[in-house]
Structure 1
Amino acid sequence: MEDWQILGITGAVIVGIVVMILRFRLNPAMSLVIGALALGLLTGLGAAETTKTAMTGFGDIMTKVGLLIAWGVLMGAILNEMGAISKLVDKLLRVFGPKGVPYALGLTIGTLLQSIFLDVLLVMSAPLARRIAPKLGKFGTAKMATAMAISLECGIVLMVPGVATVALAGLLQVPLGEMLIFGLLVIIPTIIVSIMIMNFFIHRGLWKTETDEEPVVEESPALEDSDGMVVHTHTHAHDHSGSPEHGKSTTAATPGAAPASGPTSSRVGLLPHDVRTPGTKTSREPGLLVMFGPMLLSLVLIASGAFLKMAGITNDIAGFLSTPVVALLIGLLGTSLVARLTIGTKRVEAAVANGFKESGQILILTGAGGSLAAMVATSGMGDILGKYFTASSVAPLLVVWVIAAVLHIAVGSVSISAITAAGLLAPIAPALGINPVLLALAAGAGSLFVVHVTSNTFWLLQSMLGQTTRGTLKSCTLGVSVASVIALGFTLVLSIFI
């Protein structure tokens, strides 16, 4: 088959995947697998080889990242159940003050808290961010909303153990320790510079309080049940496509949570999957270092393994403990132990059950991305693209960024666009002579471009931080797009040295 035919078929398949997701509202994982099967059949692999390749690709990526994603999500679910995030945000405000807290919160969310499922992290931290906003002056809401949007989205694709980051590392065969180290080198300056740029324009007329923020309306007192659980109500429920379903009402309970301020129509409690388990109150309140210590230990172990490998040092014990699946398991066990001593075994078990529910959809989506990547490799498209790029140019990094950006604009999912873009170029990574971690970072950066109304994160930020849709287009869409370009810039700088 001619090169142009393979390229044309692959392009048509990608468009077909986007149409299935958007037009026919087919589940993204199903759409990716259908696209992979279609690619195999249309490029002449035959029925038997096509199904074998799809299944092999799914299994291969699960072997690499399946347990890593599961351990990370479970660790985040337990931290959420302990109320670790609210304690952390309050501590940041006390330490860094009003001017520094957007940066401190952004860096903390983007790096330290990435084991927590995004929607859970957003819903837990947004009421606290909104409580801080008035202390930052006239543009407090704009600054906090922008910092949260940038850090939440960057963390998913640039920081271990963010679910898309782990998936990208698996698809491109990047050791997780390297992904952690180089991801940190990109995400930290990206968050700082992006927030700084957005704050500059916010103070110079970008943000209009009267049109970009909802008017503040007094809320009715929150109800408290017999267990001391504050119950919130809200009138917006969000489906997976990010579109608000009006007219539905849900309730959620948060231990000791303050009622969110803002308009009645925008009151949002915890999402259904984030409902905390009622339990007996305890006087045992561990410090932040105790809560996050096991997670930090696991990240240190992973990073140490990468440093030892770079230094050419081999040690069986150190090698075993720094293996990502072992390191994250140690962190999970430590977090579970702290939680059992703090909130009790029943609530930990409930948190783990919720975590397994969340990890299921992530694992299936990641596996589907692996099927597509395997099919692209088998079809020969990798060899074709390899003819047009050289290792001495930045073209491959720009191409993977553009592919991920276009996919994200069309589909509206950061994870899907990053995984699909990486899967398309994974087969040519060895031929290019470029460190695959750069391709992973470029794909992650591109997938951040133009987070818009098809994103669940967009609507959650809009409703929970008291923004209008116009305001959210500025703080979220523009803010994260700035971060996307900045992250690409730092990735290109990094490519000079590795």
Structure 2
Amino acid sequence: MTSLLILLVLVAAIVLVTARWKVSPFLALIGAALIGAFAYRIPMGEVVTTVTTAFGNTLGNIGLVILFGTMIGVILERSGAAIAMAEALIKVLGTRFPNLTMSLIGYIVSIPVFCDSGYVILNSLRKAVTLRTGVSTLATSIALMTGLYATHTLVPPTPGPLAAAENLGVSDNLGMIIALGLPVAAVAAVAGLVFASTFSRKEFTPLPAENDDDLTRQSYEELRESYGRLPGAFVSFLPIVVPLALICTSSIVKLPSRPLGEGAAFDVLGFLGTPVIALIIGLAVAALLLRGHGKLERFNDHVQESIRVSAPILLITGAGAAFGGVLAASPLTGFLSDNLSGLGLGLAVPFIIAAALKTAQGSSTVSIVSTSALIAPMLGSLGLDSPEGMILSVLATGAGAMVVSHANDSYFWVVSQLSRIPVATAYRTLSVATAIEGTAAFATIWVIGLFLL
């Protein structure tokens, strides 16, 4: 029982120092790892080794994946490819179904691009669609927000799912995580879309326009012109489609049945589908989006920006793994094995823990990293130590990390301020939408678990 109390105190401390005192999650997690090591009486000579080994192994396994994925996202954002993809979808869907259009655009764009950045990029487009169709700003804002959020927390190569896969020991099976994460994210996005559609004719009093920054005052035409000539739709989609296709193909050829045998095709496709290689290829394809004079200089600038953006994520991911390494080396594992196995909670455990951490401290990525580190020692006692169980645990953690976005979440403020939604209205709409979305995602994961576990 003492082991569990120590865990609860450590988690509460992480939430307190990150949410209330704004301490860096990296320092909070490293501090929790060191304090936990002493609290669990890990031999003093093994403390540093336990922390640094877990930290180093995790960054060694997924550090480059996160970095290259971020590079692709930054290039898509800076080159105007995200706008090009959005326009291509609007040409197909038209403006007859504006909420569906915004949800689908968000669903696709947020696979490589952070949801916060995605909303900033697409907000002018959302405003243009809203004006052209006469639908409520509330509806298109919720639809875009939930579409972006769905793939952000559930589909690699975004950092959260990648970190969870590493912490839970299935980073070599990203193809299956993508294959299951995409439909689960689709259900979550549809749930958000249905909720958004209830506000299609809902009027509200927006925040004054002067509260917006220069970007939000831009018209869609001005934003589009700021990118110059947009890349073509086909090449804009390729940096997303190519890596995902390679990773999924690699997973298929590595199935126990070996559908392509074990010859040259197996070796080549297995190599190309390795996440690092697949994303390097995706980055090379993304470089084709940069045109005109000085494209090499712009490419280098985007790489530098990617390193700056990904550094905090890498550190938080490594620190979360260090915390998990301490927990794995503690008596907590045995206690949980003895006491949780008969409760039948299964996939509900990662979902509930992630939801609690998300609601308490705000960051979905921190929630996913911390939860996956916490539950890694519990997988056996929860009956989730099979490959399928680990994959579904990654997804359940991502579903929990959607619940619930409110004032301590930067994404909440990005959406509400750019859409000029008052805080009270945002709580009744945006926060509720994320709760519905995350719950729908978990319900889908639970149903899948009935067949796979």
* Structural mapping, 1:303-382, within 5 Å: 303-310=248-255, 312-313=257-258, 314=262, 315-340=266-291, 344-382=295-333
In structure 2, the residue matched to 1:46 is 43
**1-side partners of 2:376 and 2:48: how far apart?**
20
1:377-399 deviation per Cα after TM superposition (whole angstroms, max 9, x unaligned):
11132332223344994x12112
Query: Which of 145, 159, 169 is equivalent to 1:149?
Result: 145
Task: Answer yes or no: is 1:64 the counterpart of 2:61.
Answer: yes
- Structure 2: 5+ residue runs without aligned partners? none
Range with greater deviation from structure 2 (73-82 or 472-481) = 472-481
**Is the strand fraction higher in 1 or 2?**
1
CA contact (8 A) 1:286 1:342 kept: no
Q: Percent identity?
A: 26
Letter aligned with residue 447 of structure 1: A
RMSD: 2.7
Residue 49 to residue 372, structure 1, CA distance change in 2 (3 Å):
same
1:240-296 deviation per Cα after TM superposition (whole angstroms, max 9, x unaligned):
xxxxxxxxxxx6799996458xxxxxxxxxxxxxxx9x99x6x6x531111221331
Residue 444 to residue 113, structure 1, CA distance change in 2 (3 Å):
closer
Q: Secondary structure at the match of 2:12?
A: helix
In structure 2, the residue matched to 1:226 is none
* Structural mapping, 1:441-460, within 5 Å: 441-460=395-414
Task: Answer yes or no: is 1:401 the counterpart of 2:351.
Answer: yes
**1-side partners of 2:113 and 2:11: how far apart?**
30
Query: Which of 361, 366, 369 is equivalent to 1:411?
Result: 361
**1-side partners of 2:411 and 2:192: how far apart?**
18
Q: Secondary structure at the match of 2:94?
A: helix
* Structural mapping, 1:481-496, within 5 Å: 481-496=435-450
Range with greater deviation from structure 2 (95-104 or 286-295) = 95-104
TM-score (norm 2): 0.90
Range with greater deviation from structure 2 (96-105 or 190-199) = 96-105
* Structural mapping, 1:155-194, within 5 Å: 155-174=151-170, 175-194=173-192
Letter aligned with residue 111 of structure 2: Q
Task: Answer yes or no: is 1:427 the counterpart of 2:377.
Answer: yes
TM superposition shift of 1:471: 2.5
**1-side partners of 2:337 and 2:321: how far apart?**
20
1:138-169 deviation per Cα after TM superposition (whole angstroms, max 9, x unaligned):
42x11111112212222221011111111111
Query: Which of 13, 29, 39 is equivalent to 2:10?
Result: 13
Kindly report structure 1 stretches of 4+ aligned residues shifted beyond 6 Å. Answer: 251-256
**2-side partners of 1:303 and 1:392: how far apart?**
35
**2-side partners of 1:186 and 1:210: how far apart?**
32
1:97-143 deviation per Cα after TM superposition (whole angstroms, max 9, x unaligned):
2343422432342245421233322211112112211233342x111
**2-side partners of 1:163 and 1:214: how far apart?**
33
Letter aligned with residue 188 of structure 1: A
**Is the helix fraction higher in 1 or 2?**
2
CA contact (8 A) 1:145 1:475 kept: no
Letter aligned with residue 492 of structure 1: W
Task: Answer yes or no: is 1:464 the counterpart of 2:418.
Answer: yes
**2-side partners of 1:28 and 1:327: how far apart?**
30
TM superposition shift of 1:376: 1.1
Letter aligned with residue 366 of structure 1: T
CA contact (8 A) 2:125 2:220 kept: no
CA contact (8 A) 1:294 1:332 kept: yes
Residue 198 to residue 121, structure 1, CA distance change in 2 (3 Å):
closer
1:452-485 deviation per Cα after TM superposition (whole angstroms, max 9, x unaligned):
0011111111111121112222332111110010
Q: Secondary structure at the match of 1:388?
A: helix
In structure 2, the residue matched to 1:96 is 93
**1-side partners of 2:333 and 2:134: how far apart?**
52
In structure 2, the residue matched to 1:107 is 104
* Structural mapping, 1:210-249, within 5 Å: 210-211=204-205, 213-214=206-207
CA contact (8 A) 2:150 2:186 kept: no
TM superposition shift of 1:16: 0.9
**2-side partners of 1:79 and 1:416: how far apart?**
24
Residue 48 to residue 235, structure 1, CA distance change in 2 (3 Å):
farther
- Structure 1: 5+ residue runs without aligned partners? 220-233, 237-250, 261-275
Residue 304 to residue 392, structure 1, CA distance change in 2 (3 Å):
farther
Letter aligned with residue 451 of structure 2: F
**Residue-pair matches, total:** 440
